[in-house]
Structures are given as C-alpha cells and as structure tokens.
Amino acid sequence: MKVAKWYNNTDIRIEDMPKPAPGRNEILVKVISCGICGSDIVEWYRLPRAPLIPGHEIGGQVVETGESVSGFKPGDRVFVAPKVPCMICYYCKNGFHPVCSNVKDRLPGGFAEYVLVPASIVAAGTYILPESISYDQSTFMEPLACVVRAQKLAAIQQGQTVLVIGCGMSGLLHVKLGKAKSCKVVATDIQPQKLVYAERAGADITIEADENVPEVLLARNGRKADVVILCASALSAVEQAWNSVEKGGTIVFFTVPGPDKKVEIPLNYFWTREIKILTSYYCGPPDILKAIDLLETGTIEVDDLITHKLPLEEIVKGYRLVVEGRDSVKVIITPDDDSNGKI
C-alpha cells in the first residue's frame, strides 16, 4: 500500500509498505478522507518522531476484521480516534483525558491507503459514522471535539463575548460553536480572506489583526471579551489576548507559541482583574460524542470549510497550502482516490 512519510513540511515521500493484516482484535480500515490538521504542520511538535506517517483526522471504511472483533464488520463507515485514554486512571476519572498516563496505542497515520487499528482503539476509539455524516465531514470530528473541550473548560455561556484570535480551521470551528451557544463572536486574523470565512461562519464582528484589536473591540462591542481563544501562535497574538480580555474573563491557549518562545504574563494586572489563563490540549471521549452530535444534527456545518481535496500523491501541495494558510481552510487528502479529486 502507498503511505506518505513525513520528514519535514517540504520533504514528504510517497513510499510503499506491505498492506497489514489485522490480528485477533484489530481491524483494517481503508482511508477515504483524512484532514491535514494545523498541528500536523507544526515542525517543533512533530520532528522528534520523524520520519512518520501523519494524519489523525480519519474517516474510512472497515475492510477486514480480526477473528475476535464483534463490533465492526467490513463495509462499516467509521471515524477512528488517534488514541484512547484508559478511563480509569486519576486523570481520566477527573476529566483530564488528554493527559491520561496509560495510553496504550497510537493509531498509525491516516495519510496511507489503509490503517491497521490497534485493539485498544477498536475497543474504545472507533465510532460508526451516522448516515448523515460524510467521510469528508468526519475529518472534522477530532478538531471539533478539541474545540468542544476548550469551550467547555472556558465554561462559555450564552450571551458572552468571545474573541477568536486566528481564523484557520480550528478558529473557524470556534466561531461556529460560539455562535451555536448564542455568544457574540468577534474574530481576528492577519489574512483578510480569513475574515471573510469568519463572517460566513457567523462572526458578529471581524477585526484585521494589524489594527489595534482591543481598541476596535471596545469601540464596536462596548466591552472587551469575556473569553479570548488563541488559535494563533505568534507572540503578537498573545499580546492582543492580554489586552482584549474583560475583567473576570478567561484566556484560553488553544494554540501555543513554540517551546523556545518566552511569554511574559502581566500577572499583576491580571490579579487585580481576576483574569484566568487556561490551556486546552486535545480532547476526550465525551468531547468526541458531543462533536458527533453537533455534526449529525447539523448544529455545526462544516462543508463550507473544505477548500481542497487532494490525492495522496499531492500531499506536499496539501501541506504547502496549510503552511501558507492564505487560500485554504480545510485540506483533505483522499488516499482512496487518484482521480485528482474535486470538491
């Protein structure tokens, strides 16, 4: 089978590997759609494990099952989570699924014709796709679950002002979810084109990032933001977040600057205003179930965010589109299709 091996963002090689056969408790899934995630292009995050087969936003079809598998059969349409928490450790029991200390297996990357799903993920991380969710839509399941978790941690309430800094795919999902919660959503990005997407996604106010965001926010909204969600890693974005949050408000780091970057926190200023800083990393099973529900019921629509579909052979182009971030939002790789897929 063909796989894409990632060495860095500009060196991704299509290689041949033997097609795996499932063991007793494993299943083999043919990858139909796999999204390129914003985290896939973060080299400092991925390089320590390179070369690797990336891709963790996987929608596919079961083609073979091990002899002891009873929950799935060939032909089933599934979404496969990249890893599953144990659900019994201290962290899982307290809702910190992303930091579970007993994660057994990692799913092999989805930029491949097939993925062999390990037993623990067959048991607790493989979800049958409802009829109304397409393979392409299923690639939003994992990023939407992460967005669900971040907004849950921030305890976002109806009527609050939510400022989303950075309108890539995740930022736009934050805009949509904020609107679904009847919040007033303000979006900012350095690319004017992204603000067009943000408006289409429902943002009430959009602000170009090179403007004085807190000032414009105050002028147009009458107050600063109750919740600021950072979906950009530039230090200037962090600075904007510090200055755009309302007293008693919350700043959520959904994206963070690289490990070599130092961030100065105006702690004294925050202390006297009771401003909270949160981080949100990945998602847990309850968030995935919520994301399935949001997609199935059409509460969150995602088709308008799909800008590109490319065959596996064009994955370098896909990465370039995501790295440049100008003309793309969601780029989906379709390993099963070599017909130069169109949307």
> Site residues (CB under 5 A) for Zn ion?
37, 39, 85-86, 89, 92, 100, 102
| Nearest CB to Zn ion, comparing residues 37 and 302 | 37
Q: How far is the CB of 108 from Zn ion (least distance, A)?
A: 15
| Nearest CB to Zn ion, comparing residues 43 and 208 | 43
DSSP-based three-state secondary structure for 155: coil
Identify the CA nearest to 334 among candidates 108, 134, 40, 38: 134
Q: Between vectors from CA 59 to CA 138 and to CA 29, what angle results, nearest 5°?
A: 160
CA 63 from centre of chain = 26
Q: How far is the CB of 211 from Zn ion (least distance, A)?
A: 30
Q: How far is the CB of 254 from Zn ion (least distance, A)?
A: 11
CA 277, CA 150: separation in Å to the nearest integer? 12
CA 85, CA 102: separation in Å to the nearest integer? 7
The pairs formed by 86-92 with CB atoms below 8 angstroms and a separation of 24 or more are 87/124, 87/285, 92/284
CB 1 within 8 A of CB 92: no
Q: How far is the CB of 283 from Zn ion (least distance, A)?
A: 9
| Nearest CB to Zn ion, comparing residues 98 and 214 | 98
β-strand 11-16 against 184-189: which pairing, if any? unpaired
Q: Which tokens go with 198?
A: 């943000």
Q: How far is the CB of 91 from Zn ion (least distance, A)?
A: 5
| Nearest CB to Zn ion, comparing residues 81 and 209 | 81
| Nearest CB to Zn ion, comparing residues 32 and 146 | 146
CA 113, CA 124: separation in Å to the nearest integer? 23
Output the DSSP codes for 211-275.
S-HHHHHHHHHSS-EEEEEE----HHHHHHHHHHEEEEEEEEESS---TT------HHHHHTTT-
Q: Which tokens go with 313?
A: 């052979």
Which residue type does 205 have? I
Q: How far is the CB of 109 from Zn ion (least distance, A)?
A: 12
Q: How far is the CB of 79 from Zn ion (least distance, A)?
A: 13
Q: How far is the CB of 88 from Zn ion (least distance, A)?
A: 6
Q: How far is the CB of 173 from Zn ion (least distance, A)?
A: 11
| Nearest CB to Zn ion, comparing residues 184 and 309 | 309
CA 46, CA 52: separation in Å to the nearest integer? 9
| Nearest CB to Zn ion, comparing residues 22 and 284 | 284
Q: From the CB of residue 103, how many other CB atoms can be counted at a distance below 10 Å?
A: 16
| Nearest CB to Zn ion, comparing residues 34 and 312 | 34
